[in-house]
Amino acid sequence: MRVSIYNVDAIHNTIQENKKIKFQYFDYTLEKDIQFRRNGEYYIASYYALS
């Protein structure tokens, strides 16, 4: 739970500072390994509000 709260706080801070967020999406395989989406490319987003 603590990690989720930290992430929400970090996103909220970037909104207040008018900054962009860079992150990667991933899924777990059946072998419990991490497999990144889009070949590990980063997603870059500019958020205006957190709803």
Residue pLDDT, tens place only, 12-32:
888 889 898 888 899 999 999
Nearest to 21 by CA among 29, 32, 12: 12
Residue pLDDT, tens place only, 2-14:
445 678 888 888 8
Distance from C-alpha of 42 to C-alpha of 20, rounded to nearest angstrom: 12
Q: Model's pTM, two decimal places?
A: 0.61
Query: Over the Cα atoms of the chain, what is R_g?
Result: 13
